[in-house]
Chain A
Amino acid sequence: MGLPVGDVDVLVAGGGNAALAAALTAREAGASVLLLEASPKLWRGGNSQHTRNLRCMHAAPEDVLTDAYSEDEYFDDLLRVTGGRTDEALARLTIRSSAQVRRWMRAHGVRFQPSLGGTLHLARTNAFFLGGGKALVNTYYQAAQRLGVKVHYDAEVEDVEIEDGRFRAAQVRHDGATLRMPARSFVAAAGGFESNREWLREAWGEAADNFLIRGTRFNQGRLLRALLARGAQAIGDPTQCHAVAIDARAPLYDGGIVTRLDCVSLGIVVNREAQRFYDEGEDFWPKRYAIWGRLVAQQPEQLAFSIIDSKALGRFMPPVFEGYRAGSIVELAGTLGLDAGRLRATVERFNAAVQPGRFDHALLDDCATAGLSPAKTHWARELDAPPYFGFPLRPGITFTYLGVKIDEQARVQLASGKIASNLFAAGEIMAGNVLGQGYLAGIGMTIGTVFGRIAGAEAASAALRTAGAR
């Protein structure tokens, strides 16, 4: 099937949450819209299919959100995780819009549910999608069909023509051929580059070969690279990404939520040398999981092992892969391929450093080590109750932060200092404007929805202005 090369007001590159929000908004503003999703239909939706909630500001309890979450608190949370690497104007725009955005989502078929079992800590700040992100994506595609947005799968934008600060046409790879597709405006919402191993290697060196990709295999970053090559201003650092430590046995792509491992804070984590390398009990796991991807990435062969004893069983969300089980630490070392003497020494040193305390995993308790480096500052209990369990860990990249710089109308800023008048970006491809580093659960979908809608509205208005002027 060939692609129709016709009169298109708004061309949207991408097929996830941000692209769909842009397409629906532009269509409702009266523009004709063509959405190009790089993946086949069954894999559509990019990383959005693995998401589950979005972070929302609210002044009072709402349907599925408890208590209140103010703009300032939200912004403070963002400042803390990014270490200040955020554009305050865009961040506050995201946060303020997050208070309104759920009404629009509902009107397009999305439904919400209370925070899931095991995620009570998010009940105040994050609104969960009923059925998760794939249900949301399906809902939006059905809305797109109803509204008359044209959708093409297996259609990847490989290049863009930008002349005098204006988008002219996209080069689209489809069915073995490359087509030139002109449009009055363009929304770049095709995600980051985390599935592109060569690009990851440029940023991370050989370590990148051992990264697992938690989401789609289709985020090859071709559009991002094309935009940067055609003069878009880059934002963010190519080594910055949302990466967590996941089970090393996860599939290379699309392992999603189930490959996470929530027992790190209940035991110790060692590297290939059987050495501990970071405080496993620094803070509650939901506040720390986002730094562990990077921590594991810095270890030899990007591999680590979470080790617990039977006291930890039943205290963390069930993992999808069973842990390797052994009756002794030495046996466990053999199973995990670690040096038995060194692992035993590490565990003995750790056990000897554990101080008496009152264990409570629901609090920042007083169970800590003394005289050990690195220390374990909470939930430190001796590993002494067999059977022991080991879980291999790898860095799992959720998404990358290198992107294109945009303004409050989601217009792409050019390296020349100009603003592109009909070229917009939304979602992961511009998330680096708000997230310079670190991660705040649920903010990816907030950024995607907010800037998807802005980009869609602005793209429609720019296209219709151009169409009217002729």
Chain B
Amino acid sequence: MNTLNDLIAAARRQAVAGPLADTRAEGARVMGICNSCRYCEGYCAVFPAMERRVEFSGADLDFLANLCHNCGACYYACQYAPPHAFGVNVPRALARLRLQSYERFAWPRGLAGLYRRQGTAIAFALALALALFFALAIALAGPRGFVSAHAGAGSFYAVLPHGLMVAIFGASFLFSLAALAVGAVRCWREINVPGPNAAPASSAATAQATRDALTLRYLDGGGDGCYVQNGLDFAPTSQRRLLHHLLFYGFLLCFAATGVGTIYHYGFGRQAPYGSFSLPTLLGTAGGLGIVAGAAGLLWLRRVRDEALADPAQAPLDRGLLHLLLWTAASGLLLALLRVSPLMPTLLAVHLGFVLAFFLLLPYGKFVHGVYRSLALAKHAREARTPNPVGFADS
């Protein structure tokens, strides 16, 4: 029986995670076990997408990893989760793959390391941006102008000229947009490989993917919601989905406020700050409140969430983006509130510092998850409209 015993031992090694298991090997191992089980098929898009594959290439894994919304349902339902010897933890295995995919898609590649040094990156970007705006404001408005009250339309631009702001933010925003676009192209090329799961574009698929992204459909764990605390003792909730909606739609409202402001500025010659009941102020206030509530709520949920579901290496990414958004929004709200006070120039510099730091790190932080997940949803919506290429005779 030696032969068989040797083989048994080898097979056990194959199915049991080692501490040094490479992320992709672990992803393929876990998906292999899941593909033989399939109990979690109803939870989200990951498992139906998995069932269209027999082997899991790096591209397949990047696709599945970015498709996962980390709701945690499959982990608590898993008969092979620790303490089982198979040690299956799909949310964590896919989270690790996601981080690696962010790094691989990053442009320029030299900045990919920022994902792993997020704390340093944020501190550096923030210090730089704050220093820049304080120095500019003090230099341009003069030390006295910097600590006195300003009032009326154009008062922001008395501290920092409009053209200068446009130049700084325009340049940084365009750079970040370009970096995000390159990342998106790299991601799409990776996950949309030719092969049995190549599928044509269709407006129905695009509409489906857009709906799935905007509603965070797969953060509902198949209907009951997303797990925060451990699923042995606690039921899933809709908290994460709601808070993410507040955050994301708050962000969109702030974006809309900026857009309307731009139209006011160039189209009608009306200069910021705008009145309390003007459209940009209303949109910005609602959006800012949404971001503050959403970001603060998600930060709090992070503290109570079962750590089994997360990749510890990514905690700084999550916290970093949430804090940048939270303090950008909070300083913006405060600025709107105190826009006619001696604190205005200081608050303006602080707010602009946060906005700039946020813009600069857009392509090198958690923000990219939205881009890559949307692309994965698009890929899934396309291939799900074609027959499963791995059709077993179901006898």
When C-beta atoms are compared, the residue in chain B nearest to A121 turns out to be: B394
Q: Is the CB of A138 within 8 A of B231?
A: yes
Q: Is the CB of B33 within 8 A of A320?
A: yes
B168: Cβ under 8 A from any A Cβ: no
User: A303–B76 Cα gap in the complex (Å)?
Assistant: 34
Q: Which residues of A contact B11 (CB under 8 A)?
A: 249, 321
B111: Cβ under 8 A from any A Cβ: no
> 1/0 per position for A233-268, CB-CB distance to B under 8 A?
000000000000000110100101110001001000
Q: Is the CB of B222 within 8 A of A111?
A: yes
Min C-beta distance of B377 to chain A, whole Å: 20
Q: Is the CB of B36 within 8 A of A116?
A: no
B42: Cβ under 8 A from any A Cβ: yes
Task: Indicate which residue in B234, B393, B394 contacts A142 across the interface (CB closer than 8 Å).
Answer: B234
Interface residues on A, range: 35 or more
Q: Which of B1, B3, B12, B234 has the most CB of A within 10 A?
A: B3
Q: Is the CB of A248 within 8 A of B54?
A: no
Q: Is the CB of A361 within 8 A of B39?
A: no
Given that A131-B42, A318-B32 are contacting pairs, would A49 and B8 also be in contact in the complex, using a CB cutoff of 8 Å? Answer: no
Q: Is the CB of A133 within 8 A of B48?
A: no
Given that A118-B392, A130-B223, A131-B40 are contacting pairs, would A256 and B77 also be in contact in the complex, using a CB cutoff of 8 Å? Answer: no
When C-beta atoms are compared, the residue in chain A nearest to B230 turns out to be: A138
User: A337–B1 Cα gap in the complex (Å)?
Assistant: 8
Q: Is the CB of A286 within 8 A of B233?
A: no
Q: Which of A109, A117, A132, A134 has the most CB of B within 10 A?
A: A117
Q: Which of B39, B76, B80 has the most CB of A within 10 A?
A: B39
Q: Is the CB of A320 within 8 A of B36?
A: yes
Min C-beta distance of A54 to chain B, whole Å: 14
Which A residues from 115 to 133 make CB contacts under 8 A with B? 116-121, 128-133
Q: Which residues of A contact B77 (CB under 8 A)?
A: 131-132, 134-135, 138
Q: Is the CB of B80 within 8 A of A256?
A: yes
Q: Is the CB of B394 within 8 A of A336?
A: no
- Chain B interface mostly: loop
User: A321–B235 Cα gap in the complex (Å)?
Assistant: 33
A466: Cβ under 8 A from any B Cβ: no
Q: Is the CB of B73 within 8 A of A131?
A: yes
Q: Which residues of A contact B38 (CB under 8 A)?
A: 116-118
Q: How many residues of B contact A (CB 8 A)?
A: 49
Q: Which residues of B contact A49 (CB under 8 A)?
A: 79
User: A303–B4 Cα gap in the complex (Å)?
Assistant: 10
Task: Indicate which residue in B12, B37, B51, B232 contacts A141 across the interface (CB closer than 8 Å).
Answer: B232
Min C-beta distance of B27 to chain A, whole Å: 15
User: A248–B11 Cα gap in the complex (Å)?
Assistant: 10
Task: Indicate which residue in B43, B86, B394 contacts A118 across the interface (CB closer than 8 Å).
Answer: B394
Q: Which residues of A contact B7 (CB under 8 A)?
A: 249, 324, 335, 392
Given that A113-B42, A257-B39 are contacting pairs, would A362 and B79 also be in contact in the complex, using a CB cutoff of 8 Å? Answer: no
Q: Which residues of A contact B76 (CB under 8 A)?
A: 134-135, 138
Q: Which residues of B contact A318 (CB under 8 A)?
A: 32, 35-36, 54
> 1/0 per position for B37-53, CB-CB distance to A under 8 A?
11111110000100100
B203: Cβ under 8 A from any A Cβ: no
Min C-beta distance of A381 to chain B, whole Å: 13
Q: Is the CB of A111 within 8 A of B223?
A: yes
B178: Cβ under 8 A from any A Cβ: no
Task: Indicate which residue in A316, A322, A392 contacts B392 across the interface (CB closer than 8 Å).
Answer: A316
Q: Is the CB of B232 within 8 A of A41?
A: yes
User: A117–B49 Cα gap in the complex (Å)?
Assistant: 11
Q: Which residues of A contact B158 (CB under 8 A)?
A: none
25 A/B residue pairs, CB under 8 Å, sorted by A: A113-B222, A118-B38, A118-B392, A118-B394, A130-B43, A131-B39, A131-B73, A131-B222, A132-B40, A138-B232, A139-B235, A142-B235, A256-B80, A257-B36, A257-B37, A257-B39, A265-B395, A314-B390, A315-B393, A316-B393, A317-B392, A320-B32, A336-B3, A361-B395, A362-B394
Residues of B with Cβ closer than 8 Å to A?
A: 1-4, 7-8, 11-12, 14-15, 32-33, 35-43, 48, 51, 54, 73-74, 76-80, 83-86, 222-224, 231-235, 388, 390, 392-395
3 interchain residue pairs of minimum CB distance: A132-B39, A131-B77, A113-B42
